[in-house]
Each structure stands twice: as C-alpha cells, then as structure tokens.
A and B are shown apart, each in its own frame.
Chain A
Amino acid sequence: MIPTLLAVYRRELTSYFQTPLAYVFLAVFAVSAPAFTFHVGRFFDTNRADLAPMFDWMPWLLVILMPALAMRSWAEERDRGTLEFLMALPIPLWASTLGKFLAAWSVAAAALVLTWPLWIAVNYLGSPDNAAIATGYIGALFLAGGYLAVGQALSATTSNQVVAFVLGCGAAFLLTMAGLPLVLSGLGEGAPAWLTEFIAGLSALEHYNGFRFGVIGLPDLVYFIGLIAASLSCAGVLVAERRGGGR
C-alpha cells in the first residue's frame, strides 16, 4: 500500500507546484511571518534575541493560511469530477486521505523553512536558545498539521473551494480561541469546572504553548496527533459517504 500512498502524495505535491498556488502561498508566508514578527510582534522592542514574537503570532497566521492550502483537497476533486476517477482506482481511502494531507503538510513545512532568515538574524544579534526555537518550529508544524487536517475534512463537505476555505478558517479560529480567557470567561461563572477544563483542553493554542516555551509534552503530542488522525478519519468517512450516493 506504500506505493499507492506515495503515488497520491507525489501527485498532490506536484499539483501544488503545477499551479501558482504553492508559489503564492510560500511567498505570502515568507513575507507575512517576518511582518508579524517585526511589526505586530514588535521584535526590536522586546530587546531579546529570540523568535518568541514570531511563534506568538504564528497561530493567527496559520489560521488563515492553512485553510487556504487545505481548501482544494477534496472540494476541487468534487468540482472537477476527478473524484470519480480517484474512486475508481484500487486505492484504499486512507491512502488517498493521508497522501493528500502529507503533501499539504510538506508545503506547510517548506513555508516554515522559509523563515530561516529570521533564525539567522536572531543568532547574529545575540545568543538565543536554539533548542527552544527548534521546539517552537516543531510546535508550529504540528499546529499547521492540525489546521490542515481539519481544513481537509471540511473540504470534503463541499464542492466549492471558497466555502471550504471559510469553513476551514472558522474551525481553525474556534480551535485557537477555545483556550483564551475571553472564551472561557464568556462561559459564565455558573459553568461547571469540568466544562471549562474540557473546552480549554480542546484549544490548539493551549497545546501549542508548551512547544513555544521549549517543552515537548506527551499530552500535547497526543493532542495534535489525535486531532490530525480524527480529522483525516472524518474526511475519509465523508468521502466514503459519496459511495453510498446519499443513502
């Protein structure tokens, strides 16, 4: 089954670069990440040589950009009719789903690699904790993976890429916001503690924070791997449902 998975991965990855999508995405990311770091994160005002301002704002950048990468995965197949071609191939659905996800995740990883000038800059300006920076990148990669997987599941619900993008942004935004005091306090004082804890536990931001501060926690890894696995399973179920023809 690995050759099958690789065939889908290869086609998907190639397709990103056969259209302007990957180039536009990488260019926007390469410009936005430093812009957030220097202007929004006020890098020079912190008087610290580290990438904390970039990792602080990374979730909000990913909330917009990951759904843009994920929106086409299934919606485009449905819109162009190629889903029928794909479904007639002797490919297990998990291979199609995982192949599509890994291809999009590779583009996201390439986008993160493009922020290397910032890493060079902070090492030039001082002596940052490079181990913490490395865990920050790992956290950003998992966060991107989580948003991508959710976006791909939502892409399987529609044949319209714009709808898939809006749904993906909304879901990623909610996942990010869930742990913020604004949301938790909005539940009201009467909300049971277990509910507040449960909603906080759903927050991608909460689990990303550990990576930001140089800690790779098992619960955080389990959260992101679980989020990716559950979302890809949902995408698989939604696509498989097409075989039922609306039964």
Chain B
Amino acid sequence: MLEARRLIKNFGTHRAVDDISFTLERGEVLGFLGPNGAGKTTTMRMLAGCLEPDSGSARIANYDCVAQRIEAQSRLGFLPEGAPAYPAMTPRGFVKFGLRARGFDTAAVARATDLALDRVRLGEASDQPIGTLSKGFKRRAALAAAIAHDPAVLILDEPTDGLDPNQKDGVRTLIRDMAPEKAIIISTHILEEVPAVCSRAMVVARGKILFDGSPHSLAERGRDHTVESAFRDLTLDRPDIRESVV
C-alpha cells in the first residue's frame, strides 16, 4: 500500500533523511516517533508528494509519488504539520474544497462532507470560520479534510497535538475505527498514544531508522519496559543522536 525505498533528503549540507526504507500494508497503523529534527516531517512530506526526495522513491498504492504524483495523491489523505487551513473558510467549506479539487460531483461532495465532519465531531463549529475556532477544532477541521475522500493511505503529522484529553480520545477512536481498511502513519510526541493506537512503531533520529517493530517489542527494549524509556534509551543514550537532540 505504501513503500519508502532508500529515501534521502538534504537541505543544504544537512541530511534530514538518510536512507529510510519501509513498507506499510492495509490494516497497519505506524507510529512514527523521534525527537525534534529527526526527519519525521520531511519523510512524511516526501510520502505525501509535497517534497521530492534527492534519491530513493516513495510509492502509494504502487504509484510513484513524483512521477505519478496525481494518481498517488488521489489515494492519500494528508494532515500536514500544524494542520494548516484557510482561516476565512468554514470547516465545511474547507472539506468541500478538498473534495471538489479531487473531482467529486456535487452530491458526493455533500455526502462525504457531512460524513467527515460527523466523524471528527465538529458539530456546530462546522459552519464557523476556521480562524475563529480553537486549536483543537481547527485541527479536527484539517483532519476532516484529510479523511473526507476515504483514502487508502493516511499520513497524519501530529494529529492529536493541541487537543484536550476528550478530543484526543475521539481522534484515537477514529484512527482505530479506520485502521482495518487503511494504511495509516501518525507522527506523535505523545508516546502513550503508541500502544493505544498503533500496531507498529518506528523510531527515527538524525534521519535514520533506529527501531522498527511492534509497540510491545519497543517497550521491551526500555529499562523499565515502557515505550517512554525505550524512546529515551534509543534517542538519548547514543552520543551521535544526543548531539543532534541537545
């Protein structure tokens, strides 16, 4: 469903992503973890077709994200970092724009918009300008736009950042509900989310994959058998990584 093959991305002399390869199948929810500047967002942007790799390739549903970008992106839902959205638009208008741009007809736009807004539980906020909404509502509006076209692959960059505990729980439930039918990547700094939502965890730092396995096996690597301690052990107890994190 999704394949990253030897992805490399440099910004000037800085190598942000260094030879990252993995595949993701339908039904998998991959927790993409790493300290700030690890290369998570850059990798996700390359998978979403927003950024072209310097070498290597990314494929979604067997379509190359550069050479067959339109086909690949048609099968992708992407929540960018910070959940950007047009402040003057309402969430309903924002979701409708995404669907119209994807070529949905009027009836399908109305149906898919109602369903997506309902799934993210935006309620009355659906018809208020996004600029007037709280961070949590804004993020849910962007999430609605990412899932409205029922994509086979979802890439969500920090989907629960800025949400209150109830909203976080709602988004996690939504991800769990969608998981059987989709391949999903979520990046997060909230490590408790990994065992709660993900079927697989990947830790990256300095653009390299340090761990790829189940959340349970990740926790097993920690000093006190938690994902948090395993994350610290992997990213802080290595001098080369520590240098980039501090």
Contact = CB atoms under 8 A, between A and B. Distances in A.
Interface of A: 3-4, 6-8, 10-11, 14-15, 18-19, 80-82, 84-85, 87-92, 243-247
Contacts of A18: 88-89, 129
B82 A11 contact: no
A8 B96 CA distance: 11
B101 A8 contact: yes
Given A7-B101, A15-B86, A245 B11 contact: yes
B52 A82 contact: no
B49 A82 contact: no
B11 A4 contact: no
Contacts of B93: 14
Given A11-B97, A90-B69, 9 more contacts: A4-B101, A7-B100, A10-B97, A15-B89, A85-B78, A85-B142, A89-B73, A92-B70, A243-B51
B54 interface: yes
Interface of B: 9-12, 45, 48-52, 54, 69-74, 76, 78, 80-82, 84-89, 93, 97-98, 100-103, 129, 142, 145
A88 B78 contact: yes
18 contacts: A3-B100, A7-B101, A14-B93, A18-B129, A82-B84, A84-B45, A84-B81, A85-B85, A85-B145, A87-B49, A88-B48, A88-B80, A90-B72, A90-B74, A243-B49, A245-B52, A247-B10, A247-B52
Contacts of B87: 80
B84 A80 contact: yes
Contacts of A90: 69-74, 101-102
Nearest to A19: B88
Given A80-B84, A88-B48, A245-B52, A10 B73 contact: no
For chain A, what secondary structure do more than half of its interface residues adopt (helix, strand, loop), or is it mixed? helix
A10 B102 CA distance: 14
Nearest to A21: B88
A80 B9 contact: no
A80 to B, nearest CB: 6
Contacts of B73: 88-90
Nearest to B90: A18
A81 B80 CA distance: 9
Given A84-B50, A243-B50, A245-B52, A91 B101 contact: yes
A151 B88 CA distance: 23
Contacts of B88: 15, 18-19
Given A245-B9, A245-B52, A246-B11, A88 B76 contact: yes
A140 B133 CA distance: 41
B102 A84 contact: no
Contacts of B145: 85
Interface centre among B74, B88, B101 (most CB of A within 10 A): B101
A75 to B, nearest CB: 14
A122 B40 CA distance: 65
A84 B103 contact: no
A3 to B, nearest CB: 5
A89 to B, nearest CB: 5
B62 to A, nearest CB: 16
A174 to B, nearest CB: 33
B11 A7 contact: no
Nearest to B157: A84
Contacts of B103: 3-4
